[in-house]
Structures are given as C-alpha cells and as structure tokens.
Structure 1
Amino acid sequence: MDSLPNGDSAAAAAATAASITPQSRLTHLADSLKLENQFLRVPFEHFKKSLRTNHRIAEKEIYAVIGNVIDATNSEDMSRKDADDRLNSLVSKLQGLKRKLEEGSRTENLQLQRCRARLNHLEAAQTENVYEWNNTREKRFLVDYMLRMSYYDTAAMLAESSHLQDLVDIDVFQEAKKVIDALQNKEVAPALAWCAENKSKLKKSKSKFEFQLRLQEFIELVRSDNNLQAITYAQKYLAPWGATHMKELQRVMATLAFKSNTECAAYKVLFEPKQWDDIVEQFKQEFCRLYGMTVEPLLNIYLQAGLSALKTPFCYEEDCTKEDPLSQESFQKLAKPLPFSKQHHSKLVCYITKELMDTENPPLVLPNGYVYSTKALEEMARKNKGKVTCPRTGLICNYSELVKAFIS
C-alpha cells in the first residue's frame, strides 16, 4: 500500500488521537460513576414513591366518592335538601381530589425534571469542558457531605449559588431531617409513620428498624413506671414479632421486673440515652438503603480511595520527600486507618539524584537494604576510591558489594 504524504499522515494521526482521547476519558468517567449509582437512583426512587402515593390517594378518594353515590342511589326516602347536601359534599370531595392530584403531578414533574437534568449532566462529560464538569461534581460531593452531617442551610446555599438544585437531593434529606429531629427529641411517631409509608420495601430488605422503635417505646413506658400500659403495648405491637425476634422480646420484657434503676449490666444498657443515638444511626442507614445511597458520604469514599492509593510505608519516614502529599501531618492522620497501596507497576526514583531508575539506570541494593541508582553510586565510588556511603544510615561499603535489582 502506498504511504500517505506527510501532511495527510499528520492529519490522520491527529484524527486518531482525537478519536481515542475522548473515548479513554469516557471510559475513565464511566468507571468512576459506578460509585455514583445514587446520582440517578435517588430521584428515580423518589419519583416511584410519588407515583405510589398519588395512586393510593386517588384510589382511596375515588372509592369514597363511588360509595357515597351508591348510598345516595339506594336511598329511597331522601329529601331534596339531603340530596343537595350530598351532592355538595361529593363536589367538595372531588375538588379536594383534584387539588391533591395536581399537587402530586407537580411533584412527579419535579422528579422527572431532576432525572432529565442528571442525565444531561452525565452526557456533558463527553464535551471538552471536563474541568467545569469535575468542578460541578466536586460541589455535588460537598453538598452531599453537608446534608449527611446535618448542615442543611449551608448545603442549600451552596446548591443555590452553584445552580445545582436539580443535581442534589436536598428535599430527600429534608424528609429524613423531620424523622431525625423527632428521634433526637425521643419521639417515635414520625419514624413509625415513615415505616408505614415504606412498609413493603422495608419488609423486602428484612429491616428491623420498626421493631427497634417498638422496643424503645416499650422501654420508655417501663422507665415511666407505666407497667400495665407497657404490657398492653407489648401484646399489641411486640407480640407479632415473636416468631422472628423471641430472644430480644424476652430480654426487653424482663425490664418489667428489673426496672429502670437496675444495676444489672444486661438490662441497664437498655435504659441508657445512647440507645436513642443508635436508633438515629439505624434510621440513617435504612434511609440510605431505601434510596440506594452509599452509607458513607461520597466525599469520604473518594478521599479514602485517593489517600490509600498514595499511602506507602515511606510516607511516614522523616526523610519522605515534600512532594508527597502524605508527607503532610494532616493527610497522614486521615490516611492512618487506611491500607497501604498495592503497586503492581511502580516508578523508582533515586534518593540521591532524584532521577528515574530504569533499565538504562538500574537500581543497586546496598548491604543494609537501601536502593540507589547505578549512576549515583558509580559517581560516588569514583570519587571515593571504590567506596560508597549510604546517605541515610552512614554505612560504608565497597562498590563490589552492591547487588543489582531488577524492576518487574
């Protein structure tokens, strides 16, 4: 085949590079977005929830109206005034149903708008403004972190100033905030209402959250010495859980005898304030699971992944190069509980010359185990009559004692 002229070759090479680079970028973005399943799933789950709620409301109201119409039709001795009253009542109910359906429709359209906005955001990754796209993504992580840490006002301000309202889940977390605030005030009613609203999904995931709420409510009755009321409550709300949670039930029922001032550790712990904190944490986990969110904030996940990739034993040595981010104390503290990175392909840089060690400048191992480049050690041996000195430990040895290391 005849070769292309030089100009055509350059153009072809440029076209090939242009076609490969965006594709590799998209592959990288696709890999990183696997951690962001919640980005699309949260508004979709919220949309499905709105559909179910609106369907239940419409079904209930329509059946009520049909029932009233049937009753009116079967009534033979109804006066004109009663008929007018019934018709006015039906009209009022239908108008109320219309308002509820319109409100539900607005909620559904809002969720659809958010799904569309997030799809458009993902498609924007194919364009050239990758810096701007990543900047938006970082702000999303910050808003997500603030919402999980209960900084709702700050999160809302950042989302508004950055025009990210459709790309973050402030309204979803506001829904959770109502339950969390109530639990922190030792009120279980909003949490139980949330359980009833999401009963089918919680049952499918075999959640114990509602059971824990019922146990805590029983404990509070025992704490206030309402034993008879506690027994009635247990018969109504705890007995149905007996088939699957008998041990927990037996333990909590024993508090009727031990009382709230017991010194028995097994039962004293049930009356401690931290039980409410545990319930709050359990709710947060159930809430995240329901919407397909990660339990850990995305900011934490990415930060831990980055620190773990950089972390090596050398980072904690005194002579660690300042170019290493983990040479800073603040980063070292964050990375302390994380595992060291597993480097399959590493680059070795000479401690003395700061040059790359490769096949042209292979590493040499001193008897003390430290490694330096051939170029640096040859220069040192030439100046010191065949002797080399380890700059870290001060060990002096002959150049002939060095062992060549091979990079795999």
Structure 2
Amino acid sequence: MSGDQAVTKLTAAVSKLRGLKLRLEERNEIETLQLQRCRTRLDHLGTASVGNLKEWNDMKLKRILVDYFLRKCDIVFATKLAETYNIQDLVDIDVFLEAKEIIDFLHNKEIPPALAWCAENRIRLNKFKSKFEFHLRRQEFIELLRIDNLSLAVDYAQNYLAPWGATFREELEHVMGAFAFSVNTECETYKVLFEEKQWDYLVEDFKREFHRLFGITNESPLDIHLQAGLTVLKTLSCYEGNCPKEDPFSQAGFRKLAEQLPFSNHRSSKLICYISKQPMDHLNRPLVLPNGYAYSTMALLSMAVGNENEITCPRTGDVCHISELVFAHIIL
C-alpha cells in the first residue's frame, strides 16, 4: 500500500485503540466502585453482634425502606433517604435507576432502549431462556399491524421474528396469525395482542427479568417481612372473639392486611424459660431484656429480689434495671 494508505490505516487503528482504552478505563472505574461496595457490605455484615443487635436491625430496616421506594421507582425520595441514613453503599440506587429508565421508556411505548438493554445482557438472558426480547419484538410487530403497514410488518417479521422460530415456535406461529385480524377484532385469541395493557405486561416482564439478572427477589423485603410477621400473628383465636387488646389483630387494619395470608398453627408450641426451665404462658409471661433475650416473669422477679432490682442476662452478662424490661405478647 502507499504511504498515505498506511497513514490512514494506522490513524484508524490508533483511534480504535484510544476508544478501547477509554472503555477499559470506564469499566475499571465501575469495577473499583463495585468492589468498594462489596467491601462495605461485607464489613457491615461483620459488625452484627449481640451487643449492637438493636442498632444493626435499625440499619436493616432503613435498607429495607430504601429498597421499597427504589422498587416503586421513587428514585429521588429513595436517594434522599439513603443520604439521610448515610447508607448509599448498602443499597442499589444506580441499579434501580437503570431499571427506571427502561420502565419509563416502555410506559411511553418506546422499545429501542429496552432492546439495547437486552443486547447488552444477551448472554446472561439466554442462560435464563428469557422471552423478554422476543416479547419486545412481538410488540413492535403488533404496532406495525396496528397502523396497517403490512409490507413493513412482513419485512420486520422476516428479519426480527423468524430467527426466534427455533426457540419459541408456538408463540411465533400464534403472533403470525395476527396478520389475518384487525385492531378491532372480536376474536379473543388475537384481541388481547392489540390491547393497550400489553405495554403493562412488558413492564412487568422487564421487572422479572431485571430481578433475575441481578439476583433480586420479585417481592420487596418489606413485603416479605410484613407477610412473615402477619402470618406468625394470625391465629384462629384472633377471629373467635378471644383476641386481647395487646394483639395487633384486634385492629381492623391488621386483619385487612392479612386477609390472603394463611393461619399460623401454635397448638403444639411451647416457650420454655432458659433460667427456670418452666413454661412461659399467660400466667408466667416472658419479659424481654434490652438486649433482645426473653425470660419468664417469675425467674426474673426472683433474680431481682435482693439484687437492688437489677437483672443479669445469663447468656451475655448484660446488666439492666427491672424497669427496662418489656412484656412480650404470646399467641396461644
């Protein structure tokens, strides 16, 4: 080649190398940030101990609250909350921010950003046998049929839907049948494809795949903890007129929240005091120490007598005054 051609090719190679270097630097910054977050979270997990259990649980609750608002796409409030609690490295704001951008585009009926996200994560999505990208292509195809652009719809189907035939043959054959129907069809099989709620299905589909990609539960930790707590408290006695005032289920609001949850069975359960080895029931109720451990009333009162009303936890050695103890509610 001539000298000019060599200079042109070398200039192009240098340009590519500079672009590669820039991308590598960006990825290195991202990796460094992620490693820092992992280190912060590991350090946080290592701080959990009996001595600071209350503080650690308070921090866990703050993380759960931030996570809840992130899932609701209220990124601004979640960010302010995380900054207030100084837990930015313990929550995934940037991850959910990326998700919110895609969700907003889908709500505006814009598919290209979601397709770009699929292309960026195609290897991992293929491992999950994800249908999300196919559903995006299907929706674009339906939108072409909606405006009655059949020639462009045919080209689109050949280029972007046909390659999915080996993977999702039945679904592909079904959507191809939409050629024979109009937007206002009364055929239920194809009427659903033209409905506006298909965009809502795409949003939910994206959320599921996004959660799988990042190892996030579909339900928020707040919902999970709330359901677990209500299930433990929900017993038949609460609905048979024997519900004491201390029981949260004496309030209609809690009953409403737990309507769809199963009853908890406590018929064969027993609480035995660690100190006296006697059962703890409504006659010998458990008292909770500030450190979270609970013992029977009789055992703690016996310990307080002649000891200036001070209690020593037999497990941790923590000392507290009897006035600091709190009754625990027992579900029978």
Q: Classify the TM-score, shorter chain.
A: 0.7 to 0.9
Partner of 1:221: 144
The CA distance in 2 between the partners of 1:113 and 1:162, in whole Å, is: 18
User: Residues 90, 206 of structure 1: CA spacing in aligned structure 2 closer, same or farther, 3 A cutoff?
Assistant: closer
- What's the CA shift for 1:92? 4.4
1:304/1:219 Cα in 2 relative to 1: closer, same or farther (>3 Å)? Answer: same
Alignment pair present for 1:249 and 2:172: yes
Match of 2:293 in 1: none
Matched residue, 1:335 = 258
In structure 1, give the amino acid aligned to 2:161.
L
The answer as to whether partners of 1:143 and 1:159 remain within 8 angstroms in 2 is: yes
Question: Relative to structure 1, is the Cα distance of residues 103 and 245 closer, same or farther in structure 2, using a 3 angstrom cutoff?
Answer: closer
Distance 1:208 1:268 in 2: 21
Deviation at 1:130, TM superposition (A): 1.4
CA distance in 2, matches of 1:205, 1:327: 45
186, 206, 214: which is aligned to 1:291? 214
User: 2:302 is matched with which residue?
Assistant: none
1:206–1:328 CA distance, 2 compared to 1 (3 A): same
Higher helix share: 1
**In the alignment, what sits opposite 1:78?**
3
Deviation at 1:327, TM superposition (A): 1.4
Alignment of 1:237 with 2:237, yes or no, is no
User: Which of 103, 122, 134 is the matching residue for 1:199?
Assistant: 122
**Identity in percent:** 57
Q: Partners in 2 of 1:154 and 1:207 — Cα distance?
A: 32
Return the letter of the residue paired with 1:300. D
Following superposition, the deviation at residue 86 of structure 1 comes to 5.4
Residue 316 of structure 1: how far off its partner (Å): 2.4
Q: Which of 165, 173, 190 is residue 267 of structure 1 equivalent to?
A: 190
1:315-343 CA deviation, whole Å, 9 max, x = no partner? 12444111111211111111111111122
Distance 1:108 1:127, change over 3 A: farther
- For residues 27 and 167 of structure 2, what CA distance do their matches in structure 1 show? 38
- Please state how far the C-alpha of 1:275 moved relative to its aligned partner: 0.7
Alignment partner of 1:345 out of 269, 283, 288 = 269
Q: Secondary structure at the match of 2:3?
A: coil
For the Cα contact (< 8 Å) 1:316–1:332, is it kept in 2? no
Q: Which amino acid aligns with 1:99?
A: L
Q: 1:172 aligns with which of 95, 107, 110?
A: 95
1:184 alignment partner, one of 107, 112, 131:
107
Matches within 5 A, 1:12-31: none
1:312 touches 1:340 (CA, 8 Å); kept in 2? yes
In structure 1, give the amino acid aligned to 2:139: Q
The 1:199/1:355 distance shift into structure 2, 3 A limit, reads same
- Is the alpha carbon distance of 1:287 and 1:262 closer, same or farther for their aligned partners in structure 2, counting shifts above 3 Å? same
CA displacement 1:70-123 (0-9 Å, x = unmatched): xxxxx2x214xx666655555444444333322221111000000000000100
1-structure distance, mates of 2:39, 2:283: 50
Deviation at 1:220, TM superposition (A): 0.6
1:355 aligns with 2:283: yes
Long gaps (5+) in structure 1:
1-74, 348-352, 358-408
- In structure 2, distance between residues paired with 1:188 and 1:250: 22
- What letter matches 2:67 in structure 1? D
CA displacement at 1:236 relative to structure 2: 1.2
SS in 2 for 1:125: coil
State the SS of the aligned residue for 2:47.
Answer: helix
Matches within 5 A, 1:7-406: 75=1, 77-79=2-4, 89-126=12-49, 128-343=51-266, 344-346=268-270, 355=283
Output the amino acid matched with 1:296: E
SS of structure 1 residue aligned to 2:213: helix
- Count of residue pairs the alignment pairs up: 275
Against the structure 1 CA distance between its residues 111 and 243, is the aligned structure 2 distance closer, same or farther, given a 3 Å change threshold?
A: same
- CA apart distance, 1:356: 5.3
AA aligned to 2:69 is M
Q: TM-score, normalised by structure 1?
A: 0.64
Structure 2: how far apart are the matches of 1:89 and 1:123? Answer: 51
Kindly tell me: are residues 328 and 156 of structure 1, through their superposed partners in 2, closer, same or farther at Cα, counting changes over 3 Å?
A: same
Q: CA RMSD in A?
A: 2.1
Using the TM superposition, give the Cα deviation of residue 192 of structure 1 relative to its aligned residue in structure 2, in angstroms: 1.0
For the 8 Å contact 1:218–1:234, the answer to whether it is kept is yes
Paired residue type of 2:49: Q
TM-score by length of 2: 0.78
Q: Deviations over 1:322-371 (max 9, x none)?
A: 11112111111111111111223147xxxxx96359xxxxxxxxxxxxxx
User: Helix, strand or coil for the counterpart of 1:126?
Assistant: coil
Give 2:254's aligned amino acid.
F
**Cα deviation 1:181-215 (Å, max 9, x = unaligned):** 11111111111111111111111111111111111
Q: Say if 1:211 and 1:93 are closer, same or farther in 2 by CA, change over 3 A.
A: closer
Q: Structure 2: how far apart are the matches of 1:354 and 1:126? A: 31
Bigger CA radius of gyration: 1
Q: How far 1:285 sits from its partner (Å)?
A: 0.5
Question: Whole-Å Cα distance in 2 between the matches of residues 247 and 88 of structure 1?
Answer: 50
- Measured in 1, the distance between the counterparts of 2:204 and 2:183 equals 23
